[in-house]
Structure 1
Amino acid sequence: MSSFNMFGDQFLEYVGIDISDFATQPDPFEAVGLGKTEPEEITDDLMEQLGIADEVFSQPDPFLQQTDLSIPSSSNRFVPPMTTSAIEEKRKARIPEKTKQSTRWGKAVWDDWARAQNSLRTVGDVEPGDNYFIIPVDLSETSPEEMGFWLSRFVFEIRRQDGKPYPPKTLYNIVAAIMRHFREDLSRHDMNFLDKSDTRFAEFRKALDARMKELTAQGVGTTKRQADPLTPEDEDTLWATGTVSTKTATGLSNGVFLYNCKIFGLRGMDEHRHLQVEQYAFGVDQTGRYMKFTGRVSKNVQGGLNHRQVDVKSIKQYADNTNPRCVVHLFESYLNALPEKRGSFYRRPLANSNPPRCSLQVVGVNKLKTYMKTMFEKAGINLQGRNISNHSGKVTCATQMWEAGFDEQTIMGRTGHRSNAVRAYKRPSNTLLQDVSNKLQPPKPQHKKPATSTVTTEENTTTTGVQPTINNFNNVPTTVPTILPRASAPRLSIEHPNGLKITMDF
């Protein structure tokens, strides 16, 4: 074997050696059998001839000492191979459960409408130019043109279970749900009905726009049902009645739920459900003692491709040692009452435990859904005319910060909003609304104090402190004179303290 074949042509070219010079040269290592399959044994005589001591071979290789050339075990570094079905499950799991429910609901509305209308349609319903007669229930093979044809009728014909029309925003959401059905369930990405650049659905978008404007003109969906914020009086009552307390396990559980909403801006359900103890940490800095909350996946932070530049929520709440109701102390007391300092945050409080303790059992979803309303009922707070729900805590967070004069960016840091949608969470207090109402009222009538005067008539004389002597018109003051009617109907006498007297006959 020639030397250039051993090293390779590319290597020789790389180091600048002319390959042609080596083509006719004998292999200098061939004599020692380097090209053989089995290398010759290195004997002691050979080592002695070469002047190599035995201890050289007993020294560790410094290169191997500094470099880890070992191949890591696959069981430590990688997970076992995944199947196609497992990958598909992961893809489906990326979608929030609420979104999945909305998609199923929108498709169910379409299915009910299609079956009902197919049973009612007759040949007389077909006009010249109509290319379709049967509304498809299975949309897997539906063309964009056919879908646009039926969607235009769909938005005008569908109704709620009680026969009333859907509000405009709900109608839009139903269309979006059907679009998700194409994309997620049917793996069809050619059905973006709401994309303004897709001219295939231009006529449908006009129909949807017309229907939404028609509904708004009829007053459908103009009244928005929103969660109301808590007032300072509400909070004080919750503490005063022991509904929120650091003395009982139930009071601690109620308190951390309330202030997870108000202090950290957690949403009504989804963020509470997956909350973990590890998301809370306590520390001290130059400002003082604090509690730090680190968020995870939420509605506004999904962590996927679209949210790769969005940071999770990270909030510091400093302690107030002068306030016996300090939130930091409340959370410390609750975490100390937990049976373990990891895992699910909400654990079932143990009644009558002293000191307060919680069990290993996790608070169920149905229980979490009613936390806020249950607290208000237990505290005896009147809910008449108010919409108090779990979402009220987050609304309170935005409202109180807004009324305190904080800017939108600071408010968004607490609530987790990434756009001006935070404005929808700001609720003016009743006191502010009352003040605005008073400012916009018409001016009240001015009640002027009447001047003292003497009213003289032929039948009756009433003395009010003004003497009747008036003749000089040049000294009439700017004050309004007193009109003194006399008994005779056609005569009017006006007398003023400066001596001016006016008599008029009618």
Structure 2
Amino acid sequence: MAQDISPKGNHLPSLEQLSALAKGRVPQNTVMNTEKWVKIMNKWRADVNYNYLLESQDKDTIELQVTQFLCGVTSKNGEYYSRTSLKNALSAISRYLQDVKPGWRYSLHNKVDFPDLYARFDGLLKDMKKKGIGETKSTDGLSTDEIRHIIQHETLNPNVPFGLLKRVFFWICILGAPRGGEHVNLLASQLADTPDGIIFKKGQQKNDQGGVDGNQFDLNIPFPPDPPGIAAIAQGKWYRDKQIAIRSMFKTICVECNIDIKGRNICNHSGRKTSIFELFDLGIPENTGMAITGHHSVGGYRAYAKPNNSHKREALSGIVNRLNGLPLLPSLNTTSKRKNSINESDFSQSISISESDSDFDVDESQEDSISNVSSFCTAKEIMEKGSCINSASHAPEEDHIIMKKRKDYNTV
């Protein structure tokens, strides 16, 4: 845009050019989100016989009807929108009114100007959460083993054009941690090849649009150098300065590499979540991670960098492990390996007693009891099998142990 309206040399921009600059300052994703929710709102208004424009009403009527919309709208299939989506809807309608209603300088988020809207919408969200309605389906990331599997798969073969395209895209997702929407606007010019490795440049982000009050520096992410024997990804052999990515490519790569994504929300944004969690799992300091991901607040970064179920299970196992007489939970390494492995194998454990090291043998019933107790790995199983533990510890020895007399080989 700047090149089109700002030729070299002094000139006088037209009013149309200046208007285009003002309009272009709003991110395209924001424009699309606003248009989507205005369309949904107008459909709802027609269904409830509000056959006039929202912006034609006064402040009090707008407050009431926006509240009614948020509390009464459903999706096309009659399902509730997620709580996050409803909050996005309120933001979109607020932007819309500021754009189209003359003299409107209000924000619908202001609880002083719109106390009824705030109180009722706040109550709606809390009631939905209490009832388990409208939970946001978060994006799922990949495990370390899955990343390794994809990188080694033929789908990402760098010796063919489309394989190289996917390989570049996948590495950008994992190392560059792009936000949703940035993938489809990737340009080859964002990759600068240097002797120390590729530099991935981000000129503009969702939380860094530049502008009068913004940051005027690009975010540069230094990728590690290519391993020996691997061709550099920015040789100019196949790429020109045009869009090099498509929507849903990350999910397509996972499917083509035979990654099990059933029941998982895998999309382009999964690369960002995977990248941040890997940084967290490696113990990388938050300020370093934020310098890579472009987060401005620790809270935003921690929304991604947080313990998963394996970390929580390992932490809780410490409580169980301190209790004498209870079986130990599997270690984090065992749990992670079992969860992250692409081809999961059954976890089994057995106890054997050597005759040479024991003065007695254990019969089958005692072996089963010990084996069952030692293989428990969850609190639920411990509770269910508690009676088994007690019976194993208090059973009479004569019912379970068969003593064998040693042979006296010295007797002739």
Same fold (TM over 0.5): yes
Deviation of residue 436 (structure 1)?
Answer: 4.0
Structure 2 CA distance for aligned equivalents of residues 110 and 250 of structure 1:
42
Structure 1 CA distance for aligned equivalents of residues 268 and 167 of structure 2:
13
The answer to whether the 8 Å contact 2:183/2:268 transfers is no
Partner of 1:5: none
The answer to whether the 8 Å contact 2:63/2:117 transfers is yes
Partner of 1:117: 48
Structure 1 CA distance for aligned equivalents of residues 7 and 47 of structure 2:
56
> Does the residue aligned with 1:184 lie in a helix, a strand or coil?
helix
Deviation of residue 324 (structure 1)?
Answer: 4.9
Cα distance change, pair 249–434 in 1 and its aligned pair in 2 (3 A)? farther
Confirm or deny that 1:100 pairs with 2:31.
yes
The answer to whether the 8 Å contact 2:161/2:238 transfers is no
The answer to whether the 8 Å contact 2:111/2:117 transfers is no
- With normalisation by structure 1, the TM-score equals 0.58
Structure 2 CA distance for aligned equivalents of residues 482 and 386 of structure 1:
47
Partner of 2:80: 165
Cα distance change, pair 274–446 in 1 and its aligned pair in 2 (3 A)? closer
Partner of 2:18: 87
> Does the residue aligned with 2:192 lie in a helix, a strand or coil?
strand
> Does the residue aligned with 1:78 lie in a helix, a strand or coil?
coil
Partner of 1:394: 272
Partner of 1:279: 190
Structure 1 CA distance for aligned equivalents of residues 290 and 169 of structure 2:
20
The answer to whether the 8 Å contact 1:252/1:330 transfers is no
Out of 155, 161, 180, the position equivalent to 1:243 is: 155
Which structure has more helix as a fraction of its residues? 2
Partner of 1:313: 219
Any stretches of 5+ residues in structure 1 without a counterpart? 1-73, 119-134, 347-362, 454-479, 486-506
Deviation of residue 171 (structure 1)?
Answer: 1.9
- With normalisation by structure 2, the TM-score equals 0.70
Partner of 2:204: 297
Cα distance change, pair 139–78 in 1 and its aligned pair in 2 (3 A)? farther
Report the aligned-residue RMSD: 3.3
Confirm or deny that 1:376 pairs with 2:254.
yes
Any stretches of 5+ residues in structure 2 without a counterpart? 1-5, 328-352, 361-392, 399-412
The answer to whether the 8 Å contact 1:264/1:415 transfers is yes
> Does the residue aligned with 1:386 lie in a helix, a strand or coil?
coil
Partner of 2:145: 233
Deviation of residue 75 (structure 1)?
Answer: 7.3
Structure 1 CA distance for aligned equivalents of residues 324 and 94 of structure 2:
57
Structure 2 CA distance for aligned equivalents of residues 81 and 225 of structure 1:
47
Residues 198-229 of structure 1 show CA distances to partners (whole Å, capped at 9, x for unaligned) of: 2xx1122111112111211221123x322222
Aligned amino acid, residue 404 of structure 1 = L
Cα distance change, pair 153–250 in 1 and its aligned pair in 2 (3 A)? closer
> Does the residue aligned with 1:175 lie in a helix, a strand or coil?
helix
Deviation of residue 393 (structure 1)?
Answer: 1.2
Partner of 2:242: 344
Cα distance change, pair 339–139 in 1 and its aligned pair in 2 (3 A)? closer
> Does the residue aligned with 2:92 lie in a helix, a strand or coil?
helix
Residues 155-203 of structure 1 show CA distances to partners (whole Å, capped at 9, x for unaligned) of: 33222222233333222221211111111233543231212342xx112
Partner of 2:100: 185
Deviation of residue 399 (structure 1)?
Answer: 0.6
Cα distance change, pair 81–317 in 1 and its aligned pair in 2 (3 A)? closer
Residues 255-302 of structure 1 show CA distances to partners (whole Å, capped at 9, x for unaligned) of: 11011111111124x323322333232334xxxx23222211221221
Cα distance change, pair 241–280 in 1 and its aligned pair in 2 (3 A)? closer
For residues 420-439 of structure 1, what are the structure 2 equivalents within 5 Å?
Answer: 420-426=299-305, 428=307, 431-432=310-311, 434-436=313-315, 438-439=317-318
> Greater RCO between the two (CA within 8 Å, min separation 6)?
2
The answer to whether the 8 Å contact 2:141/2:273 transfers is yes
Aligned amino acid, residue 128 of structure 2 = L
For residues 253-272 of structure 1, what are the structure 2 equivalents within 5 Å?
Answer: 253-268=165-180, 270-272=181-183
Partner of 2:369: none
Structure 2 CA distance for aligned equivalents of residues 172 and 382 of structure 1:
32
Partner of 1:156: 71
Percent identity for Structure 1 against Structure 2: 22
> Does the residue aligned with 1:162 lie in a helix, a strand or coil?
coil
Cα distance change, pair 112–484 in 1 and its aligned pair in 2 (3 A)? closer
Partner of 2:233: 331
Cα distance change, pair 76–298 in 1 and its aligned pair in 2 (3 A)? closer
Aligned amino acid, residue 296 of structure 2 = R
